[in-house]
A and B are shown apart, each in its own frame.
Chain A
Amino acid sequence: MKSASRLESVLRSGRIAVTAELNTPDSADPASVYDRALVLASVCDAINATDAAGANVHMSSMGVCALLTRAGYEPVMQMSCRDRNRIAMQGDLLGAAAMGVKNVLCLTGDGVQTGDQPEAKPVFDLDSVTLLRTARTLRDKGMFLSGRELEEPPKLFLGAAANPFVPPYDFRPLRLKKKIEAGADFIQTQYCFDVPRMKEYMKAVRDMGLHERVYMLVGVGPLRSARAAEWMRANLPGVVIPDAVIARLEGVPKGRGNQAREGKKICIEIIQEVLEIKGVHGVHVMAFRQEELVAEIIEDSGLLARRVDTPAKRPE
């Protein structure tokens, strides 16, 4: 064990892991974090706290994680390179670990131009790969990037993101390899709506033997309606939704909630399909401002029962 992370122990023991995303609030009230966490906690192993997702300001992932660890939850702290330089990020890694954060997801981050304050200065002093290796240096060598020694290294389970659904497709598995070499222990992918593409990607990953070196959690989430799906693929960077999925949503009989029900059904089907892919160790469920729906999906998908009955094949 590289950390005392519950997520790591679930994955190491060969069980299917479930993580879920908490939408960080626009509020200074701790209750706004706890209300959301409560819904997610009973259905997942760890809760992701986003770091100004889409470059929109919200409560910081550090702040959310401080609240979560204080109440005994297990967060995955997302850390993006967009807003901080290497000095701030190394300090935050120590601070987070000291507060009880055991999982960190190292991201490059969306460009500031995609958010609500496009006039801000983009930092990008490090990128996701160099951030991973920096975090690994702190953990494994017990030193800062500068070489200065730490009294106590942060024991962190290091994560990275992957997006198999966008070009350059043949470079994607090689990019994953870079992230593993830089220190990634687990991967959470972008939203998967294109299962054939995911299968193709995982085949390349297995051919390179990478599935034995990293835990893969596939990103999934429900679509509320065909219109919401159109909006997501137009406005969220890196989210790919095939036309067939949107057509299926449009095809349901008219009626309040029918598209949402179909969206949920699609999501559950995708969960079941991706878990059949060799080398996939779990799912990461995301839903924009709909934590209740995430909990429902995880319950209805039969994931909770299944993780006890049929453990995923464990690496090593």
Chain B
Amino acid sequence: MRFLQRYPRFLELVYGASIILLRPMRPLMKPGGRIEWLFVRTERLTKGPMFDCRMCGQCVLHSTGMTCPQTCPKNLRNGPCGGVRANGNCEVIEDMPCVWVEAWERSQRMPKYGPGILNILPPLDRRLEMTSAWVNDFSGRSDKVPVGWEE
């Protein structure tokens, strides 16, 4: 299902539609319950094959060109490192295209969420690994940043 990543504009529309469809379920989307378990399962089954999702629980695909930053060997969430090869491949894994080269190129084809690639993302909350990003998003659990991080 990785081929879908070649259509970032389409994925952006799917993401936008998902927000609208899930919004009525918001009151049910609480961390820790059966509903979350269901979401974790579904996310693993969909985002796994599509994006090689690593279940960080703080999904930012829409602001990283529908390319999962956790698949970067250095887990970079704020842009490419200085080791990218001249052919656009990863410094660490020689035959893999740099995650951020792809993220940047795809974000250019996403009129709505694409510019989000310019935002500075906070450090990951490691406690949210293996939880549902949708539930975290709707319940506000992933909006919390460390006190010192707030502007």
Residue positions of A touching B, CB distance < 8 A: 81-82, 86, 108-111, 113-114, 122, 124-130, 133-134, 137-138, 141, 143-147, 161-163, 166-168, 170-171, 174-175, 177-178, 181-182, 190, 237-238, 240
**Which B residues are in CB contact (< 8 Å) with A126?**
123
Q: Contacts A122-B73, A130-B122, A145-B148 known; A111 to B83 CB distance under 8 Å?
A: yes
Report which residue of B74, B122, B147, B149 has the largest number of chain A beta carbons within 10 angstroms of its beta carbon. Answer: B74
Q: Which residue of A lies closest to B100 (CB)?
A: A168
Contact between B81 and A108 (Cβ–Cβ < 8 Å)? yes
Interface residues on B, range: 20 to 34
Q: Determine if B78 and A171 form an interchain contact, defined as CB atoms under 8 angstroms apart.
A: no
B residues near A113, Cβ cutoff 8 Å: 73, 92-93
CB pair B120 A124 closer than 8 Å: no
CB distance from B65 to the nearest CB of A (A): 11
With the chains together, A12 CA to B83 CA distance in Å? 30
A168 touching B123, Cβ below 8 Å: no
Q: Which residues of A contact B121 (CB under 8 A)?
A: 130
Which residue on B lies nearest to A167, using beta carbons? B88
Interchain CB contact (< 8 A) of A114 among B91, B118, B123: B91
B27 close to A (CB within 8 Å): no
Q: A130-B122, A168-B104, A171-B100 are in contact. Are A147 and B81 (CB under 8 A)?
A: no
A127-B105 contact given A114-B92, A145-B149, A146-B148, CB 8 Å threshold: no
Which residues from B are CB-within-8-Å of A138?
148
Could you say which residues of chain A place their CB within 8 Å of the CB of B78?
127-130, 175, 178, 182
Q: In the complex the two chains form, is B86's CB within 8 Å of A240's CB?
A: yes
**With A181-B120, A237-B91, A238-B83: A134-B148 Cβ-Cβ less than 8 Å:** yes
Q: Is there contact, CB below 8 Å, between B149 and A166?
A: no
Q: Is the CB of A175 within 8 A of B92?
A: no
A161 CA to B86 CA, complexed, in Å: 18
A to B CB contacts below 8 Å, 23 in the list: A108-B76, A109-B74, A122-B74, A124-B74, A124-B76, A125-B124, A126-B123, A127-B74, A127-B123, A129-B78, A129-B79, A129-B120, A130-B120, A130-B122, A133-B120, A145-B146, A145-B149, A147-B146, A166-B82, A168-B104, A238-B81, A238-B84, A238-B91
- Among B73, B104, B126, contact of A111 (Cβ-Cβ < 8 Å): B73
Chain B contacts for A238, CB-based, 8 A: 81-84, 91
Residues in chain B near residue A129, CB distance under 8 A = 78-79, 120
B81 CB contacts on chain A under 8 angstroms: 108, 128, 238
For B79, B88, B100, B124, which residue has the most chain A Cβ atoms within 10 angstroms?
B79
Max chain B Cβ within 10 angstroms of own Cβ: one of A81, A111, A125, A134: A111
